[in-house]
A and B are shown apart, each in its own frame.
Chain A
């Protein structure tokens, strides 16, 4: 097993660990962290697959893509935290409440 494959495999593992937590955990901050871990896993796969063997120079394109991806995930995290704080302030609750139909009229 070469090192890039090892990294790519760990990246996929991270993706699924994050996915598991995103689906199972109820606390909003945990969900946000889980989403970030998923993102990091995907980025790791990108970087690892861009390594292109031991002798060759690493492909720079995946690194650029990951940079863009990090910016996107930062924006999402910021918005998610803002929404979570707002929900906490409004309801004193740190989970996504079960659907309540027709709660406003």
Chain B
């Protein structure tokens, strides 16, 4: 039994199954939703099996086809890949269930149903491939897979606004990845390798290295929509159908961020990164405040959630200035924890927003006035999911912010403290604004009945996001397997 568990290459299958299923779903459109659902049901088990196998073998890297490293393509089985595969499998399963209800098999939106499933499965396979990639060029190719699938998913709605948002996202994505690729070319020209570990050992810190680093960081920052390069995100995320918005906000943004996280801690440490870290921290700070303020001003629920994503991305970039010698593990774990809890919380919020749009016929926040009956349930689910965005205990968002604050205090960067606190306050404000409308005492006409698959799956994710802080210890331990960071996890700080 153990031999079987260890001998299987679960992560190959986690990439190949969605890609194969995508082709199948494209060729047999009538069965596309069932192919998609079956894939979504299988992948979490593969993720669990992969985690178990890695815990037994202690995460040795594997190479494609068993060829030795320079020829074979190396795949990572470290903790970061494991937890991201698992959280993607979980969020993907819930989104797939929701999409069954959102995209009906019959009706005038037939073509949307037909194309959603292949594209979503392609995107899923691309994400899984990205998480286990261990060299710069593979990261580029998988990032492009993810971008291409998301562009077409944004265009799924077919209207003018959606097409424009998709094309703008395509240009942005292309620019970002070409800048990244130029950096890869410079590194390859200088060191003749694209392997992350080898490159990290070989970097000499020349000017050319710093130029390549700047290009790669700029490209990835653009792709992960950090302020001031966030301008494309709200339109793209708000125009897409609800399951697509959930996927984009929960997973696609993280794809570029994961690449940056890997580069920062594995390739760039020997370069002079302190100034760059401060710059990223500053941009993150502005993103938190500015994104939250804009979220507060939005009239439409989906745009509000999209701007809230802009703010949450800001938190993710606080990892870079906060990760110093002693606090490296603390900041890194804070970032990983935030990625996971944000993925659950934000996916649930977008799905709820989609259901409200579907039910009330509009996603204007003012239309929520006097929400009761079916919408009342949804507002409760929305609030549960929002706890992790605000950062209330015991959500995962709370613990990651706690870790960030500890790291900020230990490294003496106290100015991040008011930033995190004001971000929390503003998040509470924009969530409270939604609730304020929802609990107005107004009589409303009755709403159509919502199919249960559009109501309960978001609740599952919202609950997971809510209690994530309580169950986070095990995932964090798994994430630290083979992590490029060391040092204690600072839970409590004495001044």
B-binding residues in A (CB < 8 A): 8, 12, 15, 19, 22, 28, 31, 35, 38-39, 41-42, 45-46, 48-50, 59, 61-62, 65, 68-69, 72, 75-76, 79-80, 83-84, 86-87, 90-91, 96-97, 99-105
Contact = CB atoms under 8 A, between A and B. Distances in A.
Given A49-B188, A79-B152, A104 B171 contact: no
B142 to A, nearest CB: 11
B65 interface: no
Contact of B170 (A65, A68, A80, A86): A80
Contact of B235 (A28, A61, A79, A99): A99
B157 to A, nearest CB: 8
Contacts, number: 97
Contacts of B167: 28, 80, 83-84, 87, 96
B188 A103 contact: no
A75 B163 contact: no
A59 B144 CA distance: 24
Task: Tell me the interface secondary structure of chain B in the complex.
Answer: helix
B410 interface: no
A11 B307 CA distance: 37
Contacts of B171: 22, 31, 35, 80
11 contacts: A15-B182, A28-B167, A31-B171, A45-B186, A48-B189, A69-B181, A72-B141, A86-B155, A86-B163, A87-B164, A90-B159
A68 B161 CA distance: 32
A79 B148 contact: yes
B170 A79 contact: yes
A100 B238 CA distance: 12
B163 A87 contact: yes
B265 interface: no
Interface of B: 137, 140-141, 144, 148, 151-152, 155, 159-161, 163-164, 166-168, 170-171, 174-175, 178, 181-182, 185-186, 188-189, 192, 235, 299-300, 303, 362, 364
Task: Tell me the interface secondary structure of chain A in the complex.
Answer: helix
A38 B178 contact: yes
Given A50-B189, A90-B159, A96-B168, 6 more contacts: A35-B174, A45-B186, A72-B141, A76-B144, A87-B167, A101-B303
Nearest to A105: B362
A101 B181 CA distance: 34
B141 A68 contact: yes
Given A8-B189, A80-B170, A83-B170, A96 B159 contact: no
Contact of A103 (B151, B160, B181, B189): B160
A62 B186 CA distance: 11
Contacts of B192: 59, 61
Contact of B189 (A49, A72, A87): A49
